[in-house]
Structure 1
Amino acid sequence: MAYYSSYGAAQGVTGSCHLLEVGYLKILVDCGLFQGRDEELNIEEFEFDPSEIDYVIITHAHLDHIGRLPLLVKEGFNKKIISTRATYEIAKLMLANAAGIIQESKNPIYNENDVEPTLRCFGTFLEYNESMQLSEDIKISFKNAGHILGSASLKIEYKEDGMDKSAIFSGDLGQDSRIITSSVQAWEKGNYIFLESTYGDRLHDDLNISINSFKENILKTINNGGVVLLPSFALERTQELLYLLKQMSEEGLLSNIPVYLDAPLATNVTKVFKKFPYLMNDEIKTVFEEGNDPFSFKELKVTLLKEESIRINEVAGPKIIIAGSGMCEGGRIKYHLVRYLQDPRNKVIFVGFQVPGTLGRKISDSANETIKIDDTHIKVKADIEVINGFSAHADQGDLINFVKDLKDVFCIYLIHGDEQRLKIFKEKINDELESKVHIVKKKERIYI
Structure 2
Amino acid sequence: MEIEFYGAAGEVTGSCHVLRTGSHTVLLDCGLIQGSRRDEARNADPFPFDAADIDAVVLSHAHLDHSGRLPLLVKRGFRGPVFAQNATGELVAILLADAAHLAERDAEYHSRKTGKQVKPLFTVAEGAEVMRQMRGVKYHEIFDVVPGVRARFRDAGHILGSCAAELFIETEAGSRTVVFSGDLGQYDTPILRDPDPIDEADVVLMESTYGNRRHRDREATVREIGEIIRAARASQGNILIPAFAIGRSQEVLYQLGKHYEEWGLDRFQIFLDSPMAVEASRVYWENSHLYDEEASRLRSGNGGMPLLPNLRLTRDTEDSIAINRLRAGAIIIAGSGMCNGGRIIHHLKHNLPSEKNHVIIVGYQAYGSLGRRLVDGAERVRIHRTDVAVKATIHTVGGLSAHGDLEDMSRWYGHMKGHPPVYLVHGERDSQAAFKTHLQERFGCRVALPEPGETLDLSRLPG
Residue in 2 that maps onto 1:447: 457
Residue in 1 that maps onto 2:285: 274
Conserved in 2, the CA contact under 8 Å of 1:193 and 1:409? Answer: no
Q: Quick one: which amino acid aligns to residue 21 of structure 1?
A: R
Q: Deviations over 1:349-392 (max 9, x none)?
A: 2222333433333344457x444422444333333222222111
- C-alpha change, 1:65 and 1:253, in structure 2 (3 Å) is same
Q: Quick one: which amino acid aligns to residue 347 of structure 2?
A: H
Residue in 2 that maps onto 1:220: 231
Residue in 1 that maps onto 2:322: 311
Q: Quick one: which amino acid aligns to residue 446 of structure 2?
A: K
What is the deviation of 1:313? 4.2
CA distance in 1, matches of 2:406, 2:439: 10
Residue in 1 that maps onto 2:131: 119
Conserved in 2, the CA contact under 8 Å of 1:239 and 1:295? Answer: no
User: How do 1:164-243 residues align onto structure 2 when only pairs under 5 Å count?
Assistant: 164-243=175-254
- C-alpha change, 1:163 and 1:338, in structure 2 (3 Å) is closer
Query: Which region of structure 1 is more displaced relative to structure 2, 64-73 or 357-366?
Result: 357-366
CA distance in 2, matches of 1:32, 1:135: 21
2:402 matches 1:392: yes
Query: Which region of structure 1 is more displaced relative to structure 2, 429-438 or 26-35?
Result: 429-438
Conserved in 2, the CA contact under 8 Å of 1:192 and 1:409? Answer: no
CA distance in 2, matches of 1:194, 1:34: 19
CA distance in 1, matches of 2:403, 2:357: 29
Percentage identity across paired residues of the two chains: 36
Q: Quick one: which amino acid aligns to residue 399 of structure 1?
A: M
Conserved in 2, the CA contact under 8 Å of 1:153 and 1:170? Answer: yes
SS of alignment partner, residue 290 of structure 1: helix
- C-alpha change, 1:220 and 1:53, in structure 2 (3 Å) is same
- C-alpha change, 1:375 and 1:20, in structure 2 (3 Å) is closer
Conserved in 1, the CA contact under 8 Å of 2:184 and 2:404? Answer: yes
What is the deviation of 1:345? 2.4
Residue in 1 that maps onto 2:264: 253
CA distance in 2, matches of 1:365, 1:188: 40
What is the deviation of 1:252? 6.9
SS of alignment partner, residue 266 of structure 2: coil
CA distance in 2, matches of 1:296, 1:252: 14
CA distance in 2, matches of 1:337, 1:134: 44
CA distance in 2, matches of 1:76, 1:407: 40
Conserved in 2, the CA contact under 8 Å of 1:83 and 1:125? Answer: yes
Residue in 2 that maps onto 1:145: 156
Conserved in 1, the CA contact under 8 Å of 2:4 and 2:453? Answer: yes
Residue in 1 that maps onto 2:114: none
What is the deviation of 1:147? 0.8
SS of alignment partner, residue 206 of structure 2: strand
Q: Quick one: which amino acid aligns to residue 278 of structure 1?
A: H
2:404 matches 1:403: no
CA distance in 1, matches of 2:43, 2:387: 31
Query: Which region of structure 1 is more displaced relative to structure 2, 288-297 or 152-161?
Result: 288-297
Residue in 1 that maps onto 2:110: none
Residue in 1 that maps onto 2:80: 79
- C-alpha change, 1:190 and 1:321, in structure 2 (3 Å) is same
* CA RMSD, Structure 1 to Structure 2 (Å): 2.2
Q: Quick one: which amino acid aligns to residue 117 of structure 1?
A: E
- Aligned pair count? 445
What is the deviation of 1:102? 2.8
Residue in 2 that maps onto 1:15: 14
TM-score by length of 2: 0.90
Residue in 2 that maps onto 1:437: 447
Conserved in 2, the CA contact under 8 Å of 1:17 and 1:31? Answer: yes
Q: Deviations over 1:117-139 (max 9, x none)?
A: 111001x2222111113456432
2:122 matches 1:110: yes
Q: Deviations over 1:89-132 (max 9, x none)?
A: 0000111111123343566332222112111001x222211111
- C-alpha change, 1:4 and 1:338, in structure 2 (3 Å) is closer
